[in-house]
Structure 1
């Protein structure tokens, strides 16, 4: 059913958001990083994720009127999704968009009688939006970046559309959410240094958003040793075992006698690290012809298992993993903080969603496990 009047949104797309993820670069900020990501085989995804949001809005029957940033800053994505913008904010001067372009477009849109300003990107894009809008301006993020530790994003493009569709039916709830970004250079060196850049008024109740990342506390060593021992009992010696990012998996790796990268994806084979901090293309090449296993832990505060900070695990890798190939690890304290689940996955196809989601066993200690539901974001 169509709304009484069109939903009027401003739309800004960061065309390079997420480029660094599949390339294992821990972010996409800076022209050199973007060029290196493309050299490693990464392709832009933010326009495609924006198209998913617009397609879901159409499925809900929402009549939408779009004010788009010029060219790659939104206009191209709108045309690519089969829509025509009602207006275009022409602020982009160069062939490559910049943070300044995002801020200029966002500032211009706040005076254009919008229902909500929607942006597709990651934490860096959220920073630019926060710098340009007023505290009362209502925004909503489509997750398209690598890091996404801020609490201003819907869980997926489809959930962003659901929040917008609910708005047209009278659900105008908003919440205040933090904009947090990390030092990417420090992250590439294995150090997480986060800074709070402000707060935004976000459309949707907090329970409908992905939430902000919560850092891990120091866990009792005996708990982590127990999880490592359980993983050791379950690892197939003939397979290649992928070690996902995060402090819990790093502690498990240490218990297995290897020094993994804190924020990358490593390859364990026959008890030794075969490769560290791999890009997606490297994972494809190294593991060809071998069975695969993977050790993953959810992100604290968000519960994401796939699709946040581990985009090196692309569709080709995930398609090779069966349910029994996942060793999901989580300390009892983190699991309790996440309310016992669910955990979320943000994967690129319906077939992968169906393959990954459902009730899953989670290792919480030696001979200890819980059952948690995995949901598509």
Structure 2
């Protein structure tokens, strides 16, 4: 609610107090009411669950609903912790859809509380609304909720972005990707990520890392090649790593740091293994440049189907249509690797590309 008094948001209790001192009034209640009024056609067929007082109860009653009120908050003194707790309790109650009102900071709180375990729709009411989890406006949020509850739209992942408010107040936009929420999707009702907040290279690598980490299985050994894109996986796992070396992970734990070919061959002797390897920017090499530890013998043992190639979309675009390349020193293995392959380019995103 700090936008009207020039504070560019109210993340943090001190900033919130300052906004109130400057005469700011909350916009969320009014916008929540706008969204809830759209749900009127379903008033007799849905059950609304809400937190007390100004965290939803008052707005629901204003719109003629008789909500189930859970939890406890002190009127007028709610915080991010209350938002998270409310979302967690909604999840435990197995609600079908979580409707929240706020901005990017609130979306981030919701993400931290429920992740992708619960479908959500954001009713835009904050200063910072860079995330794509929000409807275009409060009315379309309500319309989207109805469409989802009637089974007319499907779910998809949407980015949760947040801007550094201090930087924002200094006229610097520093948006960061915090994760993804599941939202009902209709292109006409949901906003896109703000153009000025397009994922930069670091955020793209982080998105790739989440895709890889989510797919990891405990019984499988993961050979993580060198380079910043592949090592984003190690960062996502909060593990030590060698930027220019090869690290090995199993059960999301570091097994070997800076492994050589001999050690890799020992590790993959029994059991399943996968190789996570990044494309060298500008050149397009997948094997044979800077990752010789992952030798032709290692590749042959692991198998083509267990090789996961990762690259950001900008890196792939920079190749300008040139094919990917391999130079393992073993012609037979090179020939085995040639053909079309899948390249992971983001979270739930991939492209089909040719290795020549």
TM-score normalised per structure 2? 0.52
DSSP-derived class of the 1:208 partner: coil
Residue number among 144, 156, 159 corresponding to 2:140 in the alignment: 159
1:303-339 deviation per Cα after TM superposition (whole angstroms, max 9, x unaligned): xxxxxxxxxxxxxxxxxxxxxxxxxxxxxxxxxxxxx
Which sections of structure 1, spanning at least 5 residues, go unmatched? 1-18, 218-377
* 1:175–1:206 contact (8 Å) kept in structure 2: no
Residue number among 8, 14, 17 corresponding to 1:35 in the alignment: 17
* 1:62–1:165 contact (8 Å) kept in structure 2: no
Per the alignment, residue 30 of structure 2 pairs with 48
* 2:32–2:59 contact (8 Å) kept in structure 1: yes
Name the CA distance, whole Å, in 2 between partners of 1:115 and 1:216: 30
Are 1:201 and 2:182 counterparts? Answer: yes
Runs of 4+ off more than 4 Å: 59-62
Are 1:118 and 2:99 counterparts? Answer: yes
Q: CA deviation at 1:38?
A: 2.7
Q: CA deviation at 1:135?
A: 1.8
Which sections of structure 2, spanning at least 5 residues, go unmatched? 199-356
Q: CA deviation at 1:70?
A: 2.2
* 2:54–2:75 contact (8 Å) kept in structure 1: no
Name the CA distance, whole Å, in 2 between partners of 1:76 and 1:70: 8
* 1:50–1:157 contact (8 Å) kept in structure 2: yes
Residue number among 175, 185, 193 corresponding to 1:212 in the alignment: 193
Per the alignment, residue 183 of structure 1 pairs with 164
Name the CA distance, whole Å, in 2 between partners of 1:94 and 1:162: 29
Name the CA distance, whole Å, in 2 between partners of 1:159 and 1:40: 31
DSSP-derived class of the 2:128 partner: coil
Name the CA distance, whole Å, in 2 between partners of 1:199 and 1:168: 21
DSSP-derived class of the 1:42 partner: coil
Larger CA Rg, structure 1 vs 2: 2
Q: CA deviation at 1:22?
A: 1.0
Per the alignment, residue 97 of structure 1 pairs with 78
Name the CA distance, whole Å, in 1 between partners of 2:112 and 2:149: 27
Q: CA deviation at 1:44?
A: 1.1
**1:1-377 equivalent positions in 2, closer than 5 A:** 19-58=1-40, 63-85=45-67, 87-92=68-73, 96-215=77-196
Could you say which structure has the greater relative contact order, defined with CA pairs below 8 angstroms and 6 or more residues apart? 1
* 2:175–2:197 contact (8 Å) kept in structure 1: no
Q: 1:64 to 1:50 in 2, by over 3 A?
A: farther
Q: 1:62 to 1:197 in 2, by over 3 A?
A: farther
Q: CA deviation at 1:46?
A: 0.7
Cα RMSD of the aligned pairs, angstroms, is 2.2
Q: 1:62 to 1:198 in 2, by over 3 A?
A: farther
Name the CA distance, whole Å, in 2 between partners of 1:60 and 1:88: 19
Q: CA deviation at 1:45?
A: 1.5
Aligned residues: 198
Q: CA deviation at 1:215?
A: 1.7
Q: 1:65 to 1:202 in 2, by over 3 A?
A: same
Name the CA distance, whole Å, in 1 between partners of 2:39 and 2:116: 26
